[in-house]
Amino acid sequence: MVKAWKLVPILMVVALVLSFGVVAMPQGTTEANGIVCNCGDICVSTTGWWRNGGTFNASATPIQSAVNNATGGEIICVKDGTYHENVNVGIPHLTIQSENGTANCVVSAASSSDHVFEVTANHTNITGFTVEGATGYPKAGIYLGGGTAHCNISSNNVTNNRCGIKLYLSSNNTLANNTANSNDDYGIELASSSNNNTLTNNTANLNPGGIHLDSSSNNTLTDNTASNNTWTGIDLYVSNHNNLTNNTANLNGDIGIYLASSNHSTLRDNTANSNGGDGISLIDSDHNKLVNNTATGHTAPGSFDVFYT
C-alpha cells in the first residue's frame, strides 16, 4: 500500500504535464523529439538544426550542416543569433533565409580567407542576413561562382569583407535590396562574363569602389545607390550592352559613373552629383546612349559634367 504522503510528488508531476505538455529537451542534445519548426522545412539555431517534429541535431556549423542535409526545393530558416561559419552551397533550388532579418541574424566568417557564403548551385536564394568577415583577397561576403545562374540574393547587409557581393562567371541572377557598405574593395562586383544579371535597389556606399562591372555585359542596373565611395560610384570596364537607369552616384572621391572601353550601353535618368572628379566619364567607349542624366557640382578644378572620348 502506497502511503498518501508519497503520492503527493507524483500527483504534482502529473498535474504539471497535463497543464503544460511535454517540456522539450535543451538544445545541444539529440534526445529531443517533436521540436517545432514553423518558418521553413529545416530550422537552424546557433547550436544545431532540426526538421519540424524531428530530432535536434547538434552542430558547431549548423547552417552548413542544414545545407548538407537538405534537398532541392527546401527552405532553411535560420533563427536569431551570430553564426561563425563559412557556408558552401552546392545543392540547387535551396532557400536560406533568416527568420527575422539582418538586425537579428549575423553570419561571420570562421575563416577570413574564405567566402562567408559561396554559392555554386543554380536557383539558390539567400536573404535576410548580415554577412561579414571575409577579408582575405579576393574573398567576398556572398560569392556566386563557376557558372551559377538564376539565384536571388536579396535584403542582406554585407559589410566588412574584402568584397561585399561578387559574381564570377555567373549570369541571369538577381541582386535586390542589399546593402553592401564599408567593404575593403568593391561593394558589388560582376566579373568575367557575369552577364544578364539584374541589380535593383542595392546600396553600395563607403567602399573604395561602389558597383564594378568587369568584362560583363547585358546587365541591368536600376535604382541603385553608390555614393561616398573612395574611387568611383559605378564603373564599367570592358563591359558592353549594359543598361543603367535611375541610379545615384553622388559624393564619390573620383568619378560618379565611369565607362572604360565599354560600348553600346544606355545611361538614362541617373544622378551623379558632387563627385571629386567627373560626374559621368566615358573613356575609349563608343556607341553609348546618355539620356536625361544629371551630373553637376563636382569639386575637381576644371572637371566636366559629362566627359567622353
Q: Tell me the C-alpha distance between 80 and 170, whole Å.
A: 30
Helix, coil or strand: residue 265: coil
DSSP state for residue 308 in the 8-state scheme: E
Which of 91-105, 159-173, 293-307 has the weakest average pLDDT?
293-307
Helix, coil or strand: residue 275: coil
pLDDT in tens, 3-58: 444 433 433 333 333 333 333 333 433 334 589 999 999 999 999 999 999 999 99
Q: Kindly state the average pLDDT of the residues 145-151.
A: 96
Query: What is the identity of the amino acid at 254?
Result: D
Cβ proximity of 49 and 62 under 8 Å:
yes
Q: Tell me the C-alpha distance between 41 and 67, whole Å.
A: 11
Give pLDDT, residue 297: 86
Has residue 214 got a pLDDT over 70?
yes
Give pLDDT, residue 115: 98
Give pLDDT, residue 106: 99
CB neighbour list of residue 163: distance below 8 Å, 6 or more residues apart: 138, 139, 140, 141, 183, 184, 185, 186, 187, 189
Grid cell at residue 185 = 574593395
Give pLDDT, residue 33: 58
Has residue 276 got a pLDDT over 90?
yes
Q: Tell me the C-alpha distance between 303 and 309, whole Å.
A: 14
Give pLDDT, residue 190: 98
Give CA angle at 39 (115, 166), nearest 5°. Answer: 20
Query: What is the identity of the amino acid at 238?
Result: V
What residues are paired with 144 via a beta bridge? 119, 167
| Burial of 211 from C-beta contacts in 10 A (0-12 / 13-18 / 19+) | buried
Cβ proximity of 160 and 182 under 8 Å:
yes
Give pLDDT, residue 117: 99
Give pLDDT, residue 26: 36
Q: Tell me the C-alpha distance between 298 and 57, whole Å.
A: 58
Cis ω for the linkage preceding 138 (within 30 of 0):
yes
Give pLDDT, residue 149: 98
Q: Tell me the C-alpha distance between 247 and 268, whole Å.
A: 9
Has residue 163 got a pLDDT over 50?
yes
Q: Kindly state the average pLDDT of the residues 244-269.
A: 98
Give pLDDT, residue 34: 81
Dihedral sign from CA coordinates of 288, 293, 299, 302: positive
Phi/psi at 135 (5° precision): -95, -10
Q: Kindly state the average pLDDT of the residues 268-284.
A: 97
The proportion of the chain whose per-residue pLDDT surpasses 90, expressed as a percent, equals 84
Cβ proximity of 160 and 134 under 8 Å:
no
Grid cell at residue 39 = 518558418
Give pLDDT, residue 210: 98
Cβ proximity of 66 and 29 under 8 Å:
no
Phi/psi at 213 (5° precision): -115, 125
Cis ω for the linkage preceding 26 (within 30 of 0):
no
Give pLDDT, residue 243: 98
- Parallel, antiparallel, or unpaired for β 42-45 and 48-51? antiparallel
Average pLDDT over the chain reads 89
Has residue 299 got a pLDDT over 70?
no
